Amino acid sequence: MGNDLNILILSCGTRNKIVQYFKKELGNNGLVIATDCSNLAPALYEADKHFIVPRMGDEGYLDVILSICKENNIKAVLSLIDPELSLLAEHKQAFLDIGTMPIISDSNVVDMCFDKYKMFEFLVQNGFQTVKSYVDKEQFYMDVEAGIINYPVFVKPVKGSASINISKVTSKEEIELLFGRFDNLMIQEFMDGTEYGADVYIDMISGDPVAIFTKEKLKMRAGETDKSVSIKDNQLFELIKKFVKVIGFKGIIDIDIFKVKGEYYISEVNPRFGGGYPHAFESGVNIPEMIINNINGNMNVDVIGEYEEGINMMKFNEIIVMRNKVIAFT
C-alpha cells in the first residue's frame, strides 16, 4: 500500500457522514481509518479500518496516534473534537516528519478559537463587527448604565465548547451568583437576529479560501444545527474571505455569524468540520475532495459560492446495532 492515500480521522464519534464522504471521494485510492476512545462511537464502523485508542488526555496518546500514522502510511490526519485540535496543531511538525499532513490551522490560531475573549479582542482590533463581550463585570455594569448594552445577556465560560454551561440572564443578581460560583466566565451580548453558519476551506498549499458554503440556521438541537437552508450573499463571502486571510486559517473551519438589522457579526470559529457540514457536501461543496487534492500536492481552484440557494437540510437519527462484534448497518 506504498502510494495509498490513507486518511486518519481522530475521535470520529458519531460523525459517520464525514467518514462516508471521505470513503466516497477516496474510492480505491486509499483507506479511511478512524479512531475513538469508545467502542460505542458509531463512525468507527463506517471506516475501512478502526482503532480504539486511549483517551485524548492520557499519557502516551500522541505516540499511539503517531505510530498508527506510521504503520498505516497515513497521508493526512484530522480530528473532529475541539480539545484534540490544539494537540494536532502543537505537534504539526512531528506529523509532517513522518509524512502525515495534519489538516489544521497553526497553533496560535487554534488557541484563539477556543478563547472567546481573545477572539473578541482580535476581531475588534482588526475592525470586524462581533458580539460585545466582557470578562470584567464592573465594566459591563457601567456599559449597562451608559445604555451601551442591555439585558438579557449570556454568561458563558471563556473557554468552552458547544452550549455547555451557557446561561441567559436578566439581572445583576444572576450575574453575581454565576461569577461567585464559577471562574473564567464572560458576559456576551444577546444577538436578536438571524444565525448563519459558514463552512470554509482554506487551501493548505496556497493559504487562500477556496470554498465557502453559507446557510441560515433554522432550528438548533443540543447545540447543533438541526435544520438549515443554503444562502448566498456576496457581502458575506467578502467578509469571510477577509476574515480568514487576516487571521490566517488553514484547512476546514466552521464560522458562526449573526445578522442583526442587515449587518453581519462574526461570533465564533471551530477550526474543524462543523456538525452541519453534510449540508454543504450534499449541496456540492466537496471539501474531502479538496483535502485529497492538497495531499496530492495540487492546489484547489476557487469555487466560492458555487452551489444553489434555498437548499433545505433536515437531520434525523440513524442507528447502528452491533451484535457480539459483528457489525450490522441499518
Q: Which residues bind a second copy (CB under 8 A)?
A: 14-17, 40-43, 218-219, 221-222, 224, 226-227, 275, 278-279, 282-283, 308, 310-324, 328, 330
Q: Which is nearer to a second copy, 56 or 177 (CB)?
A: 177
| Terminal-residue alpha carbon distance, the chain | 31
What's the closest the beta carbon of residue 186 comes to a second copy, in angstroms? Answer: 23
Instruction: Indicate the residue among 73 and 270 with the shorter CB distance to a second copy.
Output: 270
Minimum distance from residue 281 beta carbon to a second copy (Å): 8
Task: Give the shortest CB-16-to-a second copy separation in angstroms.
Answer: 4
In whole angstroms, how close is the CB of 43 to a second copy at the nearest point? 7
113: exposed, middle or buried (C-beta count within 10 Å: 0-12, 13-18, 19+)? buried
**Please, is 143 exposed, middle or buried when counting C-beta atoms within 10 Å of its C-beta (0-12, 13-18, 19+)?**
middle
Q: Which residue has the cell 435544520?
A: 227
User: What is the smallest separation between the CB atom of 217 and a second copy, expressed in angstroms?
Assistant: 12
Residue spans of alpha helices (H) in 126-254: 137-145, 172-181, 234-247
- What span, in angstroms and rounded, lies between the C-alpha atoms of 182 and 126? 30
Cβ 318 to a second copy shortest distance, Å: 4
Please choose, from the candidates 147, 137, 285, the residue with its C-alpha nearest in 3D space to the C-alpha of residue 212: 285
CB of 123 to a second copy, least distance (A): 30
Based on CB atoms, which residue is closest to a second copy, 176 or 238? 176
Could you tell me whether strands 6-10 and 32-36 are parallel, antiparallel, or unpaired per DSSP bridges? parallel
182/303 Cα distance (integer angstroms): 45
Q: Where is 10: in which H helix or E strand?
A: strand 6-10
Torsion of CA 156, 162, 168, 169, to 10 degrees: -10
- Grid cell, residue 44, equals 468507527
3-state secondary structure of 86: helix
